[in-house]
């Protein structure tokens, strides 16, 4: 790191980090088929689509687009494998999961770089957050595989059968792990559909699944967009559907499945509130707010995208936030110093721009990193925040799924709770205060599946995650996460 001048106080503009590029490059094939019955197969649909590096706009590979015949083939393989896998002893299923967890750890660098190239998130996140949590989920569920009777109070839980699982693009391999690990531990077989912009890490994991000799058909991976997802969710062979994605698509899936008795887990969108009281440790709260919204470009379902600050500290808090924002490094996601990477797709960038434009048109004041030079190629949006936000403004109500924070104030704890809960969503919330009693009182009154106190965005395989209201239902992780996968 080199310092270019010596003014006080320090601010981001005074410092330049030397480039610290991640040099490892995984081997990426020109084309990827569908992973069905333990093998990669050409799509019967004959269709392929491009997967793009959002930091450069360059094509990384061509991916198969599964049509009806392909999804039928994947479902047939999963159905054929189901009885034997269900009868496989828990200790044996656990060994497969354990082996997969170990292989994922051994290949963590390759997979982290691939995740960053395909999705745009900074390498320090895919390396230090995503991949460790992916391995942790398989290790954790390996432990449950032979203990399910104890998980369910002496009863003998049985698997449901074929699970259709559909995941989004913001934590591609992590979402795949959250879905696959509990399903397999409980003796189910799976047809998984990754998001169309980020299929590569799931397909590379399929190779590890081959290496550990998981019986063919236990895991099948079909790639494609919404039409493929719909085929998976509505297939007659499916006995359980688990979906993570937007509330709009979740609602559609629920409508389609309404006539059938199919257990469903929906992990949907959010507009989570971070509440900062005047008695909080302010520097810590600023860091928590920063990581809560600007981490992973705000591509986080539980992002703390609404900040509620007690009125008496609003001004200094906003000043501290602005100073911290100026220090963030936006750019090449493969640079180990980068804090904020590329926006995942052109469509997502357009959506962020539209919603930010709406916020300005409605009268909210935008604070952005105007001086930050953004790379010329690829899709970028610098971290920013709005002040002067009214609860009726679209930036206070709609999920932006980008690095955009809306700052509001409150005067009393009751008003904080009322404002935080004034949203159709209910995924997560944060409470920052020095008083333990206030933490518990406020957390208890939050309409949110997860409440973090004096921290934000903490995940663990043994801790259940999921929402209330329009953020969905069902839990992933922990004992609660197993329930969806057993009868
Ligand atoms: P999306 O709903 O557009 O897509 C999610 C997945 O569903 C993709 O694989 C997509 O191809 C597929 N899909 C699209 N239309 C479908 C249909 N009609 N039937 C079946 N599948 C279909 O969401 P996205 O843009 O990929 O992801 C962002 C959203 O995901 C945000 O709203 C975010 O909050 C949410 N999310 C929630 C959680 C959580 O745990 N609650 C976690 C991550 C992301």
Taking the C-alpha atoms of residue 420 and residue 429, their distance in angstroms, rounded to an integer, is: 8
Residue 15: the pLDDT is: 64
**Is the beta carbon of 399 within 6 A of some atom in ligand 1?**
yes
| Residue 323 buriedness (CB in 10 A; 0-12 / 13-18 / 19+) | middle
Category of 477 on φ-ψ map: left (φ > 0), alpha (ψ -120 to 50) or beta? left
Smallest CA separation from ligand 1 atom 40, residue: 267
Structure tokens at 262: 């199919």
Residue 3: the pLDDT is: 39
Structure tokens at 453: 């106190």
Ligand 1 pocket check: which of 224, 249, 293, 424 to mutate, most ligand atoms within 8 Å of Cβ?
249
Contact 466, 474 (CB under 8 A): yes
**How does DSSP assign 402-429, residue by residue?**
SSEEEEEEESSHHHHHHHHH-SS--SEE
CA 144, distance to chain mean position in Å, is 23
Distance 211 CA to ligand 1 centre (A): 29
Taking the C-alpha atoms of residue 161 and residue 165, their distance in angstroms, rounded to an integer, is: 13
**Is the beta carbon of 331 within 6 A of some atom in ligand 1?**
no
Whole-model pTM over 0.85: yes
CA distances for 426 relative to 249, 302, 308, 401, angstroms: 17, 9, 16, 15
For every one of its 487 residues, what pLDDT tens digit does the chain have, with 9 covering 90 and above? Answer: 333 444 444 455 566 789 999 999 999 999 999 999 999 999 999 999 999 999 999 999 999 999 999 999 999 999 999 999 999 999 999 999 999 999 999 999 999 999 999 999 999 999 999 999 999 999 999 999 999 999 998 788 999 999 999 999 999 999 999 999 999 999 999 999 999 999 999 999 999 999 999 999 999 999 999 999 999 999 999 999 999 999 999 999 999 999 999 999 999 999 999 999 999 999 999 999 999 999 889 999 999 999 999 999 999 999 999 999 999 999 999 999 999 999 999 999 999 999 999 999 999 999 998 767 899 999 999 999 999 999 999 999 999 999 999 999 999 999 999 999 999 999 999 999 999 999 999 999 999 999 999 999 999 999 999 999 999 999 999 999 999 999 9
Distance 167 CA to ligand 1 centre (A): 6
Distance 66 CA to ligand 1 centre (A): 17
Smallest CA separation from ligand 1 atom 13, residue: 226
**Is the beta carbon of 252 within 6 A of some atom in ligand 1?**
yes
Residue 370: the pLDDT is: 72
Using the 8-state DSSP alphabet, how is residue 436 labeled?
H
Quickly count: other Cβ atoms within 10 Å of residue 259's Cβ: 7
Contacts of 197 (CB under 8 A, 6+ apart): 51, 52, 54, 118, 119, 169, 344, 345
By residue count, the chain amounts to 487
Residue 6: the pLDDT is: 42
Residue 460: the pLDDT is: 97
**Is the beta carbon of 230 within 6 A of some atom in ligand 1?**
yes
Strand partners, 242: 165, 265
Taking the C-alpha atoms of residue 115 and residue 111, their distance in angstroms, rounded to an integer, is: 6
Residue 1: the pLDDT is: 36
Q: Are strands 306-310 and 34-36 parallel, antiparallel or unpaired?
A: unpaired
Residue 412: the pLDDT is: 98
Indicate the helix (H) or strand (E) that contains 62.
strand 59-64
Structure tokens at 51: 């997967």
Quote the radius of gyration of the chain (alpha carbons, Å).
22
Q: Are strands 34-36 and 39-41 parallel, antiparallel or unpaired?
A: antiparallel
**Is the beta carbon of 196 within 6 A of some atom in ligand 1?**
yes
Annotated active-site positions, please?
267, 301
Residue 369: the pLDDT is: 83
**Is the beta carbon of 470 within 6 A of some atom in ligand 1?**
no
Structure tokens at 216: 């063919």
Ramachandran angles phi, psi of 407, nearest 5°:
-100, 130
Least Cα distance to 70 among 43, 39, 31 occurs for 43
Closest atom of ligand 1 to CA, residue 471: 41
Distance 104 CA to ligand 1 centre (A): 24
CA distances for 179 relative to 156, 213, 342, angstroms: 22, 20, 26
Domains in the chain, ordered, with CATH?
A: 31-268+470-483 (3.40.605.10), 273-462 (3.40.309.10)
**Is the beta carbon of 178 within 6 A of some atom in ligand 1?**
no
Contacts of 87 (CB under 8 A, 6+ apart): none
Residue 329: the pLDDT is: 93
């Amino acid at each position: 790191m080199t310092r270019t001048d010596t003014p006080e106080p320090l601010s981001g503009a005074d410092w330049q980090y030397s480039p610290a590029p991640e040099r490892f490059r995984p081997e990426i094939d020109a084309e990827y088929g569908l992973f069905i019955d333990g093998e990669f197969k050409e799509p019967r649909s004959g269709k392929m689509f491009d997967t793009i590096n959002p930091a450069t706009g360059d094509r990384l590979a061509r991916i198969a687009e599964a049509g009806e015949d392909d999804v039928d083939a994947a479902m047939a393989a999963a159905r054929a494998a189901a009885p034997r896998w269900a009868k496989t002893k828990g200790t044996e299923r656990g060994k497969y999961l354990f082996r997969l967890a170990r292989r994922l750890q051994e290949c963590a660098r390759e997979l982290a770089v691939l995740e960053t190239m395909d999705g745009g998130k900074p390498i320090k996140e895919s390396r230090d957050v995503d991949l460790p949590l992916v391995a942790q989920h398989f290790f954790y569920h390996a432990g449950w595989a032979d203990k399910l009777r104890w998980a369910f109070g002496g009863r003998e839980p049985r698997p449901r059968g074929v699970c259709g699982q559909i995941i989004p693009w913001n934590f591609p391999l992590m979402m795949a792990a959250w879905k696959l690990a509990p399903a397999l531990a409980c003796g189910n077989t799976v047809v998984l559909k990754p998001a169309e912009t980020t299929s590569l890490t799931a397909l590379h994991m399929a190779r590890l699944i081959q290496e550990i000799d998981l019986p063919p058909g236990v895991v099948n991976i079909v790639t494609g967009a919404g039409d493929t997802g719909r085929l998976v969710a509505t297939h007659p062979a499916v006995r359980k559907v688990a979906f993570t994605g937007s509330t709009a698509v979740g609602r559609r899936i629920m409508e389609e499945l309404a006539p059938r008795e199919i257990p469903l887990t929906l992990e949907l969108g959010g507009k989570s509130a971070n509440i900062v009281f005047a008695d909080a440790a302010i520097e810590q709260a600023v860091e928590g707010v920063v990581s809560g919204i600007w981490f992973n470009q705000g591509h986080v379902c539980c992002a703390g995208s609404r900040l509620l600050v007690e009125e008496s500290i609003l001004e200094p808090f906003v000043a501290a936030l602005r100073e911290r924002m100026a220090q963030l490094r936006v750019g090449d996601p493969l640079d180990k110093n980068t804090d904020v990477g590329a926006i995942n797709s052109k469509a997502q960038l357009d959506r962020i721009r539209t919603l930010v434009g709406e916020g300005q048109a409605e009268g909210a004041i935008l604070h952005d990193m105007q001086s930050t030079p953004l790379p010329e190629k690829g899709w970028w949006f610098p971290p920013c925040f709005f002040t002067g936000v009214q609860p009726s403004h679209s930036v206070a109500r709609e999920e932006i799924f980008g690095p955009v924070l809306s700052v509001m104030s409150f005067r009393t704890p009751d008003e904080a709770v009322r404002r935080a809960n004034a949203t159709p969503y209910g995924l997560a919330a944060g409470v920052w205060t020095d008083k333990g009693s206030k933490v518990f009182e406020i957390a208890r009154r939050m309409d949110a599946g997860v409440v973090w106190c004096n921290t934000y965005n903490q995940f663990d395989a043994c801790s259940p995650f999921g929402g209330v209201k329009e953020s969905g239902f069902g839990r992933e992780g922990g004992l609660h996460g197993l329930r969806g996968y057993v009868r």
